[in-house]
Amino acid sequence: MAWTYATVKAADAALSPAVADPGAAAAALNAQTTTQAVPVSIATLHGILMLASTSDWDRITVRSAAAYSSGWPANPATTDAAIAAAKLAVSLAGSKVDSVSVADWPGFLAPLQVLQTAGDVSAASYTAIAALGSVTAATWQPALTAGDIQTARAQP
């Protein structure tokens, strides 16, 4: 985040235990990170699922061609959720949608979780895909210096 001396002063004061040395305080604050949600490219998701080593995409396409149970949709069988998730995955791969938005990410992961539970998506692929929805970055950008801490502490 772009910081101000006021935010630096508040963060410095919140360090526990308190750090008297400005250089050590800057190092402690620069070690802080935040996790930010980010949109995810459909092409990247598809690429992970298409890895030959996992055969995930092959299993998904086979599942997507399966027929729903006779009780679908009123009384779906357990496999119907996996079939619906596979059909969604295949439709997205061929769509013009560029990315999954931050707001839609949890709803997108739910069908992938169903496919993982059904054995169609490997745990490694699911973990790799789930990690795409966020990035961890340094909280203080640009990084703080001892001089920044001294200036912040001098603020009224």
Number of folded domains that form the chain: 2
Query: Does the pLDDT at position 73 exceed 80?
Result: no
Residue 122, pLDDT score: 94
Which structural domain range is residue 25 located in? 5-32+139-154
- Whether 112 and 149 share a structural domain: no
**Does position 1 have pLDDT exceeding 80, yes or no?**
no
Mean pLDDT value of segment 124-130 = 92
Residue with the two structure tokens 């079939």: 83
Cα(17)–Cα(109) distance, integer angstroms: 39
If asked whether residues 21 and 93 sit together in one domain, one would say: no
Indicate if 41 and 19 belong to the same structural domain: no
Residue whose tokens read 């950008």: 141
Q: Is the distance from CB of 151 to CB of 77 less than 8 angstroms?
A: no
> For 135-149, what is each residue's pLDDT tens digit?
899 999 999 999 999
Q: In the predicted model, what is the mean pLDDT of residues 98-110?
A: 83
Same domain, 70 and 112: yes
95 and 127 in one domain? yes
Q: What is the pLDDT of residue 100?
A: 80
**pLDDT per residue over 4-62, tens digit each?**
999 999 999 999 999 999 999 999 999 999 988 888 888 888 889 988 788 999 999 99
Could you give the CA distance from residue 131 to residue 141 in angstroms, rounded to a whole number?
23
Residues 16 and 45 in one domain: no
Statement to judge: residues 55 and 106 lie in one domain? yes
Same domain, 54 and 83: yes
Question: In the predicted model, what is the mean pLDDT of the chain?
Answer: 89
Do both 27 and 86 map to the same domain?
no
pLDDT of residue 108 exceeding 60: yes
